Structure 1
Amino acid sequence: MIHPTAIIHPHAKLGQNVEVGPFSIIDEDVVIGDHCRIESHVRIHCNTTLGQNNHIYHGAVIGIEPITTIPQTEPTYLTIGDHNVIREHVTLSRGTNKGGSNTTIGNHNLIMLYVHIGHDCIIGNHTTITGSVKIAGHVEIEDHVVIGGLTPIHQYCKIGRYAMVGGGSGISQDVVPFALVSGNPLRYLGLNVVGLRRAGLSSIERKEIKRIHSILFRQGLPLQKAVETLHELPDSEFIKHTLSFIDKSTRGLCRKSE
C-alpha cells in the first residue's frame, strides 16, 4: 500500500507488497525489496538499496549524503540487507569516494531510535545498536554485537563479533571478539559470557575463548608476546578469527582492565 501523500520518484524500484506511509519521500535510484514497510515521514535518499522484509519507522533518514567537507565526485551508496528493524529518527549515511563509496548494513539488525551510522561503515548481522549510539565513519561492527545506548564510537574503530558494549561508553579503540567492555575511558571487564551462552556455544568452545582472553588480558603480556603465544596454540576457528581481527586493528586494542 502506497499512501497518497507519499512522494516516490519514477526511477525508484519497489518490490512486491511494499508499504509506504504518509508523507514519506523516496528519491531516484532507490531499490526497495519485497515486503518492506516504510512508515510515515521517512526520507530515503538516492543510491540506496534495501533488501527484503525491512521495517523503517517514523522519521528515519536513510542514505543521506556523507557528512564530510570533501566533495564527492562520483556516486556513493548505502546497501542494507534483509530483515532489519530501523527505528524512529535513525540516520544512515552513504559512503565516500575515499572510503570505497559504500556503507553496508547486513541482515537481522535492530537499530534503535536516534542512532546515527556514518559513512563507509560496515555493520554485520544480528547486531543490536541501542538508542542514541553515534557511529563515526569507517567503523566496522561484526556479527552479534550489542552496543548500549548513548555510546559514541570513534572513526575507524572495529568491534569484534559477540562483543557487548555497556551504555554510555566511549569507544576510541578496537574491541576484540567476545569481549565485555564498558566505561569512559573504556575498560575490559571480561568475556561476554551471557552472549556466548545465548549463542549456543558449547562449554568446550567457551573454555577455548576464555583461554584466548586470558592470554590477551590476564597474564600481563605485551600485545606482541600475547599474539606470539596465540600462534603457538592448536589451530582453531576462534584463534584464527581473533588473530585476524588483531592484525586488522588500526586503533589499538582496548586492554585496560578494572
Structure 2
Amino acid sequence: MEKSKGNVLVTGCSAGGLGYALAKAFRDQGFHVLATVRNTSKAADLTREKNIEVLTLDVTSATSIAECLEQEGKAAYDVNVWAPLTVAQAFAPLLIESKGVILNISSIAGAVPLVWQGLYNSSKAAATFLSETLKMELAPLGVRVVTAMVGAIGTTLYNGHEVSLPKTSYYKPIEEYIKRQSRGEMQEPFNESVDATARNIVKDTLAGRRGQIWRGGEAGRASILSWLIPTAIRERILHADKQQ
C-alpha cells in the first residue's frame, strides 16, 4: 500500500461545495484527508471514500451567538472571517511544529466588489486581508499560507437562496434582476467545474505557491481588474448593464 504523503484538514465539506471537491483532490494527490463538516449527513458520500475521514466540526461554535445566526451579515462574518481565524489559532502549534501549510478560501468578490452582495463582498475582503497578514506573520515560523481567490464555480452555494424585496424598496422595479443574481443565474455562464477548480488549487498549493492564487471562472479577469484598472473604469465595466 502506498504511503500517505501526510494529513490534510479540510473544513466545510458538504456535498456539492468546494471543500468537498478539495477533500477528494487532496486525497487523489496521495494525502490522508480529515474532512470536517457541521452535519456529517451532508458529507455522507465521503464516508465511503478511501483515505478520507469525515469528522464533525462546527467552525463557528466558538464565536456564534444563537440569536445572531439568523442575521445574514453576522453569519457571513462568522463563516468567512472568524471561523478561519479560530481554526488557524487552534491548529497553530501543530502547523508550526510540522512546518505545515494553511490554505484559506476567499473570493474574487473580496477584490472586485459586485452590487447587491455587500455583506458577502466585505466578509471576503476581510478574509483576504486576514489570510495575507497571517502569511507574513507565520512565514518566520515556517508555515506557508495560501489564499485562494476563487471565481465563478458550479457549487450548491446558491441552492434555495432567493431574496424578496419589501414593497417600499427603492429597488423594487429591478427586483427580478436582483433575484436572478441571488439565485446565481448571472454568474452561471462563467462557472468553472468545482472539481477542476479544486484540482488547480491543490496543484498550486503542492507546487509551493504562497499568497494569492486566482482560480475559477473569471478569476484571471478579476485579478487584472483589481490590480491594474482604476476603480471608476472598473465599476463601469462590471456594472454597465445596471446603470441604464
- Shorter-chain TM range is under 0.3
Structure ranking higher in helix proportion = 2
Structure ranking higher in strand proportion = 1
> Taking structure 1 as the reference length, what is the TM-score of the superposition?
0.25
Flag the structure with more relative contact order, 1 or 2, with Cα contacts below 8 A and sequence separation at least 6.
2
> Taking structure 2 as the reference length, what is the TM-score of the superposition?
0.26
Decide which structure has the larger Cα Rg and report it: 1
